[in-house]
């Protein structure tokens, strides 16, 4: 095993820990919100989270990714990028604060203005951590990144619980976010202090070679954001706050959590693929492995979630939200297609072909937005969900064409790379459905049902991978062996 492979797996391990920790913490946070607040207030929180995600996507500007892709950057360039990020953050904070009444009008939620005002404060502080984070990820210091992210997640949960206890209502979530991102920014600056520490130096011209990459990346992320979240906008505007609250609960665990799990692979694979961008055949092999790996990681989790949707909803969100279980099952299909297609962004960045990706994404996302809005008008919250499933399949077909055109991967090979990993989840699905029937027949309570079925699904999947001697098991086994001093 080469040093690059070992560093990639080590990074994946730490990112996986932070993602799983964040998922558990977020589940605790949403469960608290769903049980403490009224359904309409949960909808207000959901709307604020969508606005937060939009502002965060715009503020990103692709700076961290450009630092990774360009590989070499002087201290002066990093300083200029740092202050540019800070200035953009201030502009976004002011824009958010001023536009709060517009969001209140769009979602028809009077309480939303106060949440947006609090969220805006976070963007005065969060940009300070962007450049330091990019530096850490460039040298693949994912252990430091993971620890900081876990501290941030724990801070959000603790602050949310305290503020809910004090009766802050929906504002509790927004205030917890603002406090958490400020702390994370400070920790990122401290963690990267040996390579970079903010100083008073700024020249716009020094940022141009990074912005040429970063702005295209950022535009692509903004387009993708609207395509990914159009369901929330449509449900919030066309249905009701309660429907939006339920949609957000289901969407978080059927779609957003798998997207975070993709970060276990793509965030680490991007710098790794960028380091071998001169070797096209090696890069093509790496791309294929990334696509297969994200499916191997996400498919069993989403299939299991669809199977245990009802006990999962009852245990964590309570009886008021049982209707969300069916929505989780539909959105699990959305999560699976997006998980399989998500690595395309990192692949295009590693290939430095974001311009082509942006054009394709604009066309595809325009169709996606129109189809989901039509679905919401036609069938409400479930119509929007089924429309997103259809567009997820379309996205995968588009990605196969892009992989053939840009990376030279034959279409048949690309299709098999997407489909083959799904076969490993078939035994899991059979066992999971069977265990759900058994637990129902035995009359087990929801919590026990959830534990038993999830355990059965997990054991079945691990056994399937071991019996078939999947490359992921072999790679992890090699990683756990003592290093023999391999070279890159």
Would you list the domain boundaries of the chain?
3-196+205-480
What Cα–Cα distance (Å) separates residue 127 from each residue in 16, 78, 199, 206, 263? 24, 13, 15, 18, 20
Sign of dihedral through CA atoms 208, 212, 215, 218? Answer: negative
- Digit-coded pLDDT (tens) for 98-142: 999 999 999 999 889 999 999 999 999 888 888 888 888 777 777
Write down the residue that tokens 């070679």 correspond to.
209
Chain centroid to CA 316: how far? 21
Return the H-helix or E-strand segment holding 193.
none
The CA distance from 430 to 442, in Å, is: 19
Chain centroid to CA 296: how far? 17
For the chain, give the longest Cα–Cα distance. Answer: 70
Contact in structure between 315 and 327 (CB atoms under 8 Å): no
Contact in structure between 459 and 453 (CB atoms under 8 Å): no
Please tell me the predicted confidence (pLDDT) of residue 323.
95
Count the neighbouring beta carbons within 10 Å of the beta carbon of residue 65: 27
Contact in structure between 2 and 488 (CB atoms under 8 Å): yes
Sign of dihedral through CA atoms 191, 195, 199, 201? Answer: negative
Please tell me the predicted confidence (pLDDT) of residue 446.
95
Q: Is 444 exposed, middle or buried (0-12, 13-18, 19+ CB in 10 A)?
A: middle
Count the neighbouring beta carbons within 10 Å of the beta carbon of residue 314: 19
Contact in structure between 137 and 63 (CB atoms under 8 Å): no
Digits of tens for pLDDT over the chain (488 positions)?
Answer: 555 555 556 666 777 788 888 888 988 999 999 999 999 999 999 999 999 988 888 877 666 666 766 657 778 888 888 898 889 899 999 999 999 999 999 999 988 999 999 999 999 988 888 888 888 877 777 788 889 999 999 999 999 999 999 999 999 999 999 999 999 999 998 998 888 888 888 888 887 777 766 667 677 778 888 888 899 999 999 998 999 999 999 998 898 877 777 666 665 555 555 555 556 677 677 778 888 888 888 899 999 999 999 999 999 999 889 999 999 999 999 999 988 887 777 777 667 676 777 788 889 889 999 999 999 999 999 999 999 999 999 999 998 988 888 878 888 888 888 888 899 999 999 999 999 999 999 999 999 999 999 999 999 999 998 888 766 665 555 544 554 444 33
Which among 227, 254, 231, 252 is positioned nearest to 381, based on CA atoms? 231
Helices (H), 276-353: 280-307, 309-317, 324-341, 343-351
Contact in structure between 169 and 101 (CB atoms under 8 Å): no
For the chain, report the end-to-end CA distance as a whole number of angstroms: 9
Which among 285, 335, 284, 326 is positioned nearest to 307, based on CA atoms? 326
Cβ-Cβ contacts under 8 Å for 479 (sequence gap 6 or more): 1, 5, 6, 9, 10
The CA distance from 247 to 241, in Å, is: 10
């Amino acid at each position: 095993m080469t040093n690059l492979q070992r560093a990639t797996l080590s990074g994946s391990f730490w990112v996986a820990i932070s993602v799983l920790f964040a998922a558990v913490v977020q589940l605790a946070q949403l469960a608290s919100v769903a049980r403490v607040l009224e359904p309409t207030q949960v909808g207000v929180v959901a709307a604020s989270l969508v606005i937060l995600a939009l502002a965060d996507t715009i503020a990103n500007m692709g700076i961290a990714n450009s630092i990774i892709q360009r590989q070499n950057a002087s201290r002066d360039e990093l300083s200029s990028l740092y202050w540019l990020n800070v200035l953009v953050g201030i502009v976004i904070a002011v824009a958010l604060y001023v536009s709060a009444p517009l969001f209140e009008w769009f979602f028809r939620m009077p309480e939303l203005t106060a949440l947006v005002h609090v969220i805006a404060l976070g963007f005065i502080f969060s940009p300070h951590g962007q450049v330091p984070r990019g530096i850490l990820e460039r040298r693949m210091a994912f252990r430091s990144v993971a620890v900081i992210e876990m501290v941030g997640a724990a801070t959000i949960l603790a602050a949310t619980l305290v503020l809910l206890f004090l009766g802050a209502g929906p504002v509790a979530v927004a205030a917890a976010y603002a406090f958490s991102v400020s702390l994370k920014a400070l920790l990122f600056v401290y963690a990267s202090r040996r390579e970079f520490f903010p100083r008073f130096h700024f020249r716009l011209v020094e940022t141009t070679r990074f912005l040429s990459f970063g702005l295209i990346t950022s535009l692509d992320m903004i387009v993708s954001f609207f395509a990914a979240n159009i369901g929330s906008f449509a449900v919030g505007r066309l249905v009701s706050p309660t429907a939006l609250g339920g949609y957000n609960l289901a969407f978080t665990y059927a779609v957003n959590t798998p997207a975070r799990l993709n970060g276990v692979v793509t965030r680490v694979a991007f710098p790794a693929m960028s380091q071998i961008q001169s070797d096209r055949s090696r890069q093509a092999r790496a791309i294929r492995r990334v696509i297969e790996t994200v499916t191997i990681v996400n498919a069993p989790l989403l299939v299991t979630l669809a199977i245990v949707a009802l006990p999962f909803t009852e245990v964590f969100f309570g009886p008021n939200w049982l209707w969300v279980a069916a929505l989780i099952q539909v959105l699990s299909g959305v999560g699976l297609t997006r998980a399989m297609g998500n690595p395309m962004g990192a692949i295009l960045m590693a290939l430095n072909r974001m311009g082509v990706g942006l054009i394709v994404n604009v066309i595809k996302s325009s169709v996606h937005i129109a189809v989901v809005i039509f679905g919401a008008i036609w069938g409400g919250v479930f119509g929007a969900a089924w429309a997103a499933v259809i567009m997820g399949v379309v996205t995968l077909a588009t990605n196969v064409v892009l992989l053939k055109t840009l990376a030279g991967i034959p279409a048949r090979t690309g299709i098999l790379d997407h489909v083959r990993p799904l076969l490993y989840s078939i035994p899991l699905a059979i066992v999971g459905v069977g265990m759900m029937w058994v637990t129902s027949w035995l009359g087990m309570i929801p919590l026990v049902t959830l534990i038993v079925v999830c355990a059965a699904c997990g054991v079945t999947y691990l056994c399937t991978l071991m019996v078939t001697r999947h490359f992921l098991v072999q790679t992890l086994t090699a990683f756990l062996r003592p290093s023999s001093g391999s070279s890159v």
